[in-house]
Amino acid sequence: MDKIKDFASDFFVTGDPLIYGADVAIVLVTVAIVAVLTYFKKWGWLWREWLTTVDHKKIGIMYILAALLMLFRGGVDALLMRTQLIMPNMDFLKPEHYNEIFTTHGVIMILFMAMPLMFGLFNIAVPLQIGARDVAFPVLNSLSFWLFFMGAMLFNLSFVIGGSPNGGWLAYPPLTEKMFSPGVGQDFYIWGIQISGIGSLMTGINFIVTILKMRAPGMTLMKMPMFTWSVLASSLTIILAFPILTVTLALLFIDRFLGAHFFTLDGGGNPMMYINLIWMWGHPEVYIVILPAFGIFSEVVATFSKKKLFGYTSMVFALMSISVVSFFTWAHHFFTMGSGANVNAFFAISTMIIAIPTGVKVFNWILTMYKGKISFKTPMLWTMGFIPCFVVGGMTGVLLSVAPADFQFHNSYFLIAHFHQVLIGGVAFGYFAGLYYWWPKMFGFSLNEKLGKWAFWLWNIGFYVCFMPQYVLGLMGMTRRYSTYGWDTGWFGLNLVSTIGAFLMGAGFLFQVWQILHSIKFMEKDTTGDPWDGRTLEWSIPSPAPMYNFATDPQVREVDDWWEEKQRLASGGAPRPKPALEPIHMPKNSGMPFIKATFWFIAGFGFVFDWMWMAIPGLIGVAACMLAHSFNYDTDYYIPVDEIERTEAAARRGV
């Protein structure tokens, strides 16, 4: 009995009322979900329509749901931290708990919020923009999602079972080596990221192939919508950067699990090698998440200014050059490591160079708006909020890239303010713009504009209130990851203001949740399929898109083909002849991805606790799924013509 008690007190996180509250909430929510599904007999529906689906639109929706959930978790982490820092000598969070919270905040916001939200928008928009019926590898796409999901769940489990990682979001050794972090938190970190990382890599491959091979007839590369270009650039960066992360974390795992010495201080290891390697992934990673946001802004700014995007070619060139140059700047994250003047000079200059294509893009967006007929819908508001915010964030980035000055800024709140400004002002604003922009295409109704404006202004004002003081705090000497500070520092006032700003953004998030719930209940169905008077192919089909997307292959003649076609029809042009319907070839649903990802979860959990009796069967299950899938030839079917006709007629009637 005592043995069981000992085990339970190690296995579950104990001793913190906040965690007990979360335990109760998790149990209640799980019971509620199971009860609702059972009561309404929805288990079969869940399995057939969602868990086994290979439809890119549904996978996209699942990505976005999961990302919003993670945004909530990461946001609560942020608010807990800001509450702890609201005034000197606060005793709200214990230092160890604070360490765990800033670690999980960073990991969740980048890897389990920004990445899935981005993949969700890839899935929603790219096949529709290029006139394809799905991605190139639909089953792989579903596997990517489930690997992400299981990885994220494994990581989040650490919060109630075993203890969260507390070594910072990039887990620098030697702190994260077994000697200094003996608990299971770091192993949760490693396996959560490894499992979802495989999914990210596969998504990168999937979208490169989709974009290169599955464009509608007539859509040459230089006629692709700008968002599709940005996805291509981002995916290219993913497939080159994510293997570096996988290898680096694998080496750290070997250190911890087998007692190797890659990053230890003894036995010939060198912890600085880890820092070098992780930033080779880490720097491209921030461009991976920002490039699609640039793509979204380009779509939104053209649509809501009723003008062609200014400087299409320069935009493409800027995107692609950013994706390559991003691999040559990583050492600017550790100028203070002492790599010598030549190294620092090289990486300082390469960092400044990358600001040039970014500047080109900003001018392109502004010139697109110039003399345009701008309508201030919510996607456009986020875009216009983004431009000044990102310009300031980019400028402080250039300040940080000056290597000698960086010795002052390094790891201070100046840095914190900088990267939050580009990640919130750039990435989060961008994905919100994308979410509002494509929401009607996903669900067939728009989101309430009034509540959306409240959310926008709360986020936008809250952002400046929260992070502008942090620049100053950084210059006053406040270092990141302090769990508390004294009255003698003089940091009280600015920290108080910053915390108020954080809660304003929290209120903005609540408005978004309210907006979504309100719109589900009250918004009218969009029967046009084109509520924004859009420019690209996704707006030429009904909302939500039928499962096969396009009844017949669209024929593309120019950039913004749908817009040009509408102009031609408006000026009295004859509609293009409709090609005859043909049966449509579609992929069949598959349960393999979900089952395989579950086995990965089991294996990961086993490795975390060093339980080989669990890890090995998990890996065997993964291998069995691979084997079973490679002998499955029953993968596709045809939708007959009369069914397409029925679906199209129903979509046009708006039922």
Partner 1 sequence: MAQHPTGHSHDAHGDSHESHGSLKSYVIGFVLSLVLTIIPLVAVLNDIVEGTAARVVLLVTAVLQFVVQLFFFMHLREEKKPRWNLMALILGLVIVLTIVIGSIWIMTYNAVA
Least Å distance between CB 442 and partner 1? 19
Q: Which range of residues in 262-270, 401-409, 557-565, 616-624 is near partner 1 by CB under 8 A?
A: 262-270
- Tell me which of 44, 338, 575, 577 binds partner 1, using CB under 8 A: 338
- Tell me which of 138, 394, 444, 542 binds partner 1, using CB under 8 A: 138
How many residues at the interface with partner 1, by CB under 8 A? Answer: 48
Nearer to partner 1, 496 or 586 (CB): 586
Nearer to partner 1, 180 or 611 (CB): 180
- Tell me which of 74, 173, 269, 501 binds partner 1, using CB under 8 A: 269
Report the Cα 19 to chain-centroid distance in Å. Answer: 26
Nearer to partner 1, 137 or 594 (CB): 137
Q: Is 548 in the site for partner 1 (CB under 8 A)?
A: yes
CA distance 422 to 507: 21
Nearer to partner 1, 610 or 636 (CB): 636
Nearer to partner 1, 56 or 97 (CB): 56
Nearer to partner 1, 231 or 301 (CB): 231
- Tell me which of 83, 270, 314, 336 binds partner 1, using CB under 8 A: 270
- 9, 161, 167, 178, 186 from 183: Cα distances, Å: 13, 11, 11, 8, 7
DSSP conformation letters of 371-436:
T------HHHHHHHHHHHHHHHHHHHHHHHHSHHHHHHHTTBHHHHHHHHHHIIIIIIHHHHHHHH
Cis-peptide, bond into residue 546, ω within 30° of zero: no
Q: Which of residues 551-590 bind partner 1 (CB under 8 A)?
A: 553, 582-587
Nearer to partner 1, 96 or 636 (CB): 636
CA distance 351 to 355: 7
Q: Which range of residues in 100-108, 206-214, 528-536, 625-633 is near partner 1 by CB under 8 A?
A: 206-214
DSSP tag of 213:
H
- Tell me which of 51, 254, 324, 399 binds partner 1, using CB under 8 A: 324
Q: Which of residues 596-655 bind partner 1 (CB under 8 A)?
A: 636, 638
CA distance 122 to 207: 8
Give the angle 170-611-169 at the CA atoms, nearest 5°: 10
CA distance 625 to 637: 22
Q: Is 27 in the site for partner 1 (CB under 8 A)?
A: no
- Tell me which of 22, 260, 337, 399 binds partner 1, using CB under 8 A: 337
Closest CA to 393 of 465, 459, 467: 467
Closest CA to 498 of 413, 574, 426, 596: 413
- Tell me which of 83, 314, 339, 484 binds partner 1, using CB under 8 A: 339
Nearer to partner 1, 128 or 392 (CB): 128
Q: Is 343 in the site for partner 1 (CB under 8 A)?
A: yes
Number of Cβ within 10 Å of residue 498's Cβ equals 24
| CB contact at 8 A, 564 and 557 | yes
Q: Is 252 in the site for partner 1 (CB under 8 A)?
A: no
- Tell me which of 121, 278, 301, 331 binds partner 1, using CB under 8 A: 331
Q: Which of residues 213-242 bind partner 1 (CB under 8 A)?
A: 213-217, 236, 239-240
Least Å distance between CB 213 and partner 1? 5
521: phi then psi, degrees, rounded to nearest 5: -80, -40
CA distance 356 to 147: 36
Nearer to partner 1, 270 or 408 (CB): 270
* Residue whose token pair is 């043909």: 582
Nearer to partner 1, 489 or 647 (CB): 647
Torsion of CA 9, 14, 19, 21, to 10 degrees: 80
Q: Is 481 in the site for partner 1 (CB under 8 A)?
A: no
CA distance 625 to 631: 10
Q: Which range of residues in 89-97, 338-346, 496-504, 509-517 is near partner 1 by CB under 8 A?
A: 338-346
Least Å distance between CB 47 and partner 1? 22
SS3 per-residue string spanning 625-651: HHHHHHCCCCCEEEECHHHHHHHHHHH
Nearer to partner 1, 68 or 278 (CB): 278
Least Å distance between CB 212 and partner 1? 6
Nearer to partner 1, 23 or 582 (CB): 582
Residues 42-78 as b or e (16 or more Cβ within 10 Å = b):
eeeeeeeeebbbbbbbbbbbbbbebbbebbbbbbbbb
Least Å distance between CB 228 and partner 1? 13
Q: Is 23 in the site for partner 1 (CB under 8 A)?
A: no
DSSP conformation letters of 128-175:
HHTT-SS-S-HHHHHHHHHHHHHHHHHHHHTTTBT----STTTT-TTT
Nearer to partner 1, 42 or 213 (CB): 213
Nearer to partner 1, 273 or 500 (CB): 273
Task: Give me the sign of the Cα torsion angle 47, 48, 50, 56.
Answer: positive
Report the Cα 409 to chain-centroid distance in Å. Answer: 27
Q: Is 265 in the site for partner 1 (CB under 8 A)?
A: yes
CA distance 205 to 11: 38
Q: Which range of residues in 144-152, 275-283, 291-299, 532-540 is near partner 1 by CB under 8 A?
A: 275-283
Residue numbers at the binding site for partner 1 (CB under 8 A): 132-138, 208-209, 212-217, 236, 239-240, 244, 265, 269-270, 272-273, 276-277, 280, 324, 327-328, 330-331, 337-340, 343, 548-549, 553, 582-587, 636, 638
